[in-house]
Amino acid sequence: MSIDCNCDTSEARKWWRELSLEFIGTSLYVGVVATAATAGSGSASVAGLALIGLLYMVQEASSDGFGHFNPAVTTAFALAGESSLVLAIMLVVVQFVGGIAGGLLAWMFVSESGRDVLNLGVSGVPDSYRGGNNYTLFNGIMLEFFLSGALATAFYVLYSKKKQQTFKSTAPLALGLFVQSLVTVAAPLTTSIFNPAYSLGTSIISGEFDDFWVFLVLPFAGAALFVLGYKWTFIDEDCFCCAGGARHSYSDAIDDEYTYDQASASASY
């Protein structure tokens, strides 16, 4: 684990743009998805499509923008050394504030009766799901942990420092579709979108806190463990795959063979 704790004042001047974009993006994202969940208009498709638009917005507004809109993803990036720890802490605070603002937007967008019935799309662990099948807290914890990890890993693969420019044009589309698929899975079960800012914002505004800790804590745990696990396994030079020289590229093998042939030819003379 390599955490960047440096605070460069020249870089700090640029942080206001990143913080502003994260606040605006998180507010809009939470507000739109919570409204869709309350209105029953398809929160999964809205979560995916809204994320695509917002990520492209960040790319247009800032070449170095993050566009996570998710405290768990931002924390995982900081733990993996992809951003300054100081900036990450400020981003997480801004995202949580943006989540509350988004919950307030949803509260203003829907009628009072709609808010009372569906509680602004607050995530929760049901006693049963479609068909009367039993659903337990353990099931909800596993769903939140593993799918939050999958979401954060997708962000890391496409938006890490080494890959950000490579996938710049396609990353928002890929992430939006991936998020849509994950939320589609969770929609009939917990209605989670694997975002602590969403959980905090909708819970505070609606006043509903049943199973709140699951959707606040588990995304952080899943995101951190999955991203660090991916980094240590596939990215780091001393990673598991490379231990003891186990990973040897094809080009290196060709070079070694060429060197061996040259040495053999020289020895024959």
The label of the residue with tokens 């390599």 reads: 2
The answer, yes or no, to whether residue 60 has pLDDT greater than 90, is: no
pLDDT of 230 reads 94
pLDDT of 255 reads 47
CA angle 229, 235, 237 (to 5 degrees): 115
Give the mean model confidence (pLDDT) for residues 28-50. Answer: 90
Give the mean model confidence (pLDDT) for residues 142-150. Answer: 97
**Of 79, 60, 59, 28, residue with least CA distance to 195:** 28
pLDDT of 250 reads 43
pLDDT of 119 reads 72
| Lowest mean pLDDT across 8-22, 74-88, 153-167 | 8-22
CA angle 86, 89, 94 (to 5 degrees): 125
pLDDT of 233 reads 92
pLDDT digits (tens, 9 = 90+) for 175-218: 999 999 999 999 888 889 999 999 999 999 988 888 899 999 99
The answer, yes or no, to whether residue 252 has pLDDT greater than 80, is: no
The answer to whether the pTM exceeds 0.85 is: no
Q: Is the CB of residue 71 less than 8 Å from the CB of residue 151?
A: no
220, two tokens: 């952080």
pLDDT of 120 reads 79
